[in-house]
Amino acid sequence: MNRLPRLLIAATTCTLACASVGNAQDSTDPLMETLTVTASLREASEMETAASVSVMDEALIKEAGQQHFESLSQLVPNLNWAGGTSRPRYFQIRGIGERSQYEGAPNPSVGFLVDDIDFSGMGGVATLFDTRQIEVLRGPQGTVNGANALAGLISVRTVDPGDSPEFIAETTLGSDATVGAGLAFGGPLGEDLSYRVVAQQYSQDGFRDNSYLGASDTNGRDELTTRGKLHWEPSENLRVKFTGMLVDLDNGYDAWAIDNSLTTLSDKPGRDSQRTAAGAMRIEWDLSERVSLLSISTLADSDVLFSFDGDWGNDDSWGVNGPYDFFSTTDRKRNSLSQELRLSSRPGAELLSGTTGWVLGLYALDVEESNDILDTYNGDIYRSLYSEYQATNLALFGQLDSQLAERWNLALGLRLEQRDATYSDSQGVDFEPADNMPGGHLTLSYQMAPLTRVYSTLSRGYKAGGFNINPSIPAERREFDPEYLWNLELGLKTAVPEKGLRGSMAVFYMDRDDAQVSTSFQDDPTDPLSFTFYNDNAAEGVNYGLEAELQWDFAQGWTLHGALGLLHAEFKDYQAGTRVLDGREQAHAPSWNYNLGLSYHSSQGYYARADLGGKDGFYFSDSHDQRSTSYSLLNARLGYQGLHWDVQVWARNLLDQEYPVRGFFFANEPPDWIEKLYTRQGDPRQLGVTLSYRY
């Protein structure tokens, strides 16, 4: 028996033992109340939600986060991200998820929502200022979110308007020329109307020195987040919520160096910018004493520019081996429009003698995307591609939540989704794929005690099929089929108030059918931009593991936090060209990750927190066998919170650990053109102070 199954058995035994302790408790404690999970069809407390989910509230986000969701990712079991952009856009949950989109059509495996607006594959918008809650649901969300949530869902909720006037001002100063300023204010505009306005500007140099240009800001970040909310409640039965946002990320991109260091040689640094205007309208209407209607309408318009120095050098650095000067630009425009309608039973109006609540819904999503790709050599365009993509998703979904007995509950969900797409480009490539995809879940839960619940879930997720656009790929290999995923999960959530303990654990086994695998190969070793990107269906993929989280208030003001993810993810019976991947681990799927945190809050307002988190090494790609190294990062924060003022001194990567977040293996150095591993390093140590005023 290998190490991971032994660890799974040991952790399961330990957690079940804790459950027996929690089972002895018959009373609840207000201090042990949990947060509400909002990203499911029916809102429920974290303890009552029969799913593997991490919920980070506003207090935790302020104590452990720094500017972007990326800084909180190490707190979440079995969550990873790809560092090929200035901010993470692509995430992997339980080893499944995209790492990039260089060409073709968007087809995400991990859903990403901000205030109900779908930003899957565009996670760069997840800045943290004035964020209320973040939920990470692991495992397929086939009933709730369908094709964009094969592996899981990340849902971000920002702060809503309040019932009383509020004013918040925040400023941040830090190393690497970090400067941030944010403002949030709002309150009532009358008896039935309230508002909130948010604006934040953040900048830093980007942790790179370009020795050729003598500049320290070629990889810099310049990020503007603005948001407005308006809540209208004309009656106790009707609530209308408007959200509008403008996010402008005007970031540099000069993250790669020939020697894999933090000192670059690029003569033409790139850009990684995203300007998004988006809005949402949420209508909650109690139609009668028996039925409620929820309507969610969203739209988003994004302009994304991604460019980079293809050779990472300059004429002087290449010397006699020059001229050798490549540059690539991708101009992406994406527009999306969605509408969701849900009818649901109200409390006291359940079916079958009051035992079964129900939800019935319709969902429509229209996405249009264009991509203009230009590659230059010595300043001249030598490769171009212009493409247009449009897809329409229509779904019918429903869920029954039934109380079988006093402590037994059964949930049955089903979703049927159809996607029709069209694609055309300047190479004469045309596709019109259409997929019909079913998914859902069956969940049985048992309330062992008021503060202890066990559950078992069988769920099916899906992801739409797609196509390869390179004409050199044989016609019979150009299209690939949808992927389906069966997930079997056993979980436990428990709390022991008198001991200050709260914990959760889930063990899971996922079987991937027709798993979609992305590989690439370099066509010309003398051209660092000459890659063919290829997607194919593997015969099978198997992902299994464990997720556990623990919070222990072991002394007055002192809390120990822990999170652990264990994962085994491999391919079965799959060969990509001449590469045999049968039995090999899937890319960006570390076999373990952890976080161990300690926090202190005094009655006088002083507080402190330290988090040590890390992950195992993982394969950078399914195209080669190069791996990252395992690493651990230490983050710390000291602060004081008064009636109106809050001051924090913080450190990210306090020990200045070197660690890679993305890796490529290809030829990029004349005159020998030897394939080599190039890695992008994560951010080094950063120190800063944040001062906020609240009234």
The larger pLDDT score, comparing residue 659 to residue 104, is at: 659
Q: pLDDT-based confidence at 17, cuts 50/70/90? A: very low
188: β partners: 194
- Please check whether residue 599 is in contact with residue 559, taking contact to mean a CB–CB distance below 8 angstroms: yes
Query: In 3D, which of 64, 51, 71, 121 has the Cα closest to residue 91?
Result: 121
> Regarding beta strands 540-555 and 579-580, do their DSSP bridges make them parallel or antiparallel, or are they unpaired?
unpaired
User: Which of 67-76, 207-216, 569-578 bottoms out in mean pLDDT, i.e. has the lowest?
Assistant: 569-578
Mean of the pLDDT values across residues 373-390? 95
State how far the Cα of 299 lies from the Cα of 279, in Å rounded to an integer.
Answer: 5
What percentage of the chain reaches a pLDDT higher than 70? Answer: 95
- Please check whether residue 287 is in contact with residue 270, taking contact to mean a CB–CB distance below 8 angstroms: no
89: β partners: none
Mean of the pLDDT values across residues 92-108? 89
Instruction: Name the one residue in this structure whose structure tokens are 């899981």.
Output: 152
Tokens of 258: 């020939």
State how far the Cα of 629 lies from the Cα of 583, in Å rounded to an integer.
Answer: 21
Hey, how many other C-beta atoms are within 10 angstroms of the C-beta on 446? 15
Tell me the fold of 3-694: Maltoporin; Chain A (2.40.170)
State how far the Cα of 389 lies from the Cα of 503, in Å rounded to an integer.
Answer: 45
pLDDT of residue 126 exceeding 50: yes
pLDDT on residue 575: 77
Tokens of 26: 């018959």
pLDDT digits (tens, 9 = 90+) for 137-160: 999 998 999 898 999 999 999 999
Q: pLDDT-based confidence at 211, cuts 50/70/90? A: very high
Is 285 strand, coil or helix? strand
Is 341 strand, coil or helix? strand
Beta-strand runs (E) in 41-106:
44-45, 53-57, 79-81, 91-93
pLDDT on residue 647: 97
Q: pLDDT-based confidence at 33, cuts 50/70/90? A: low
Query: In 3D, which of 195, 189, 193 has the Cα closest to residue 228?
Result: 195
Average predicted confidence (pLDDT) for the chain: 92
Q: pLDDT-based confidence at 22, cuts 50/70/90? A: very low
- Please check whether residue 421 is in contact with residue 433, taking contact to mean a CB–CB distance below 8 angstroms: yes
Mean of the pLDDT values across residues 375-392? 95
Tokens of 299: 């739209």
- Please check whether residue 301 is in contact with residue 366, taking contact to mean a CB–CB distance below 8 angstroms: no
Mean of the pLDDT values across residues 54-63? 95
pLDDT of residue 353 exceeding 80: yes
Residue 155 DSSP label = E
**DSSP secondary structure of 509-537:** EEEEES-EEEEEEES-TT-TT-EEEEEEE
Is 501 strand, coil or helix? strand
Angle at 539 between CA 536 and CA 542, to 5 degrees: 110
Q: Which amino acid is present at 157?
A: R
Q: pLDDT-based confidence at 35, cuts 50/70/90? A: confident
Tokens of 622: 């399914």
pLDDT digits (tens, 9 = 90+) for 400-414: 999 999 899 999 999
Mean of the pLDDT values across residues 43-61? 93
Mean of the pLDDT values across residues 474-501? 93
Q: Residue ranges of the domains in the chain? A: 3-694
Mean of the pLDDT values across residues 286-303? 97
Mean of the pLDDT values across residues 669-690? 96
pLDDT on residue 528: 95
- Please check whether residue 187 is in contact with residue 194, taking contact to mean a CB–CB distance below 8 angstroms: yes
Q: Whole-prediction pTM value?
A: 0.94
pLDDT on residue 21: 44
> Regarding beta strands 579-580 and 592-601, do their DSSP bridges make them parallel or antiparallel, or are they unpaired?
unpaired
Hey, how many other C-beta atoms are within 10 angstroms of the C-beta on 629? 11
pLDDT on residue 476: 80
pLDDT of residue 190 exceeding 60: yes
Q: What residues have CB less than 8 Å from 469, skipping those under 6 apart?
A: 103, 104, 385, 387, 423, 425, 427, 429
pLDDT on residue 67: 95
State how far the Cα of 190 lies from the Cα of 187, in Å rounded to an integer.
Answer: 9
pLDDT of residue 503 exceeding 80: yes
User: Which of 11-25, 133-147, 196-210 bottoms out in mean pLDDT, i.e. has the lowest?
Assistant: 11-25
pLDDT of residue 478 exceeding 90: no
Mean of the pLDDT values across residues 469-477? 82
Tokens of 489: 């999960």
Compute the Cα dihedral for 476, 477, 479, 485 and give only its sign: positive
pLDDT digits (tens, 9 = 90+) for 588-625: 999 999 999 999 999 999 999 999 999 999 999 999 99
Is 540 strand, coil or helix? strand
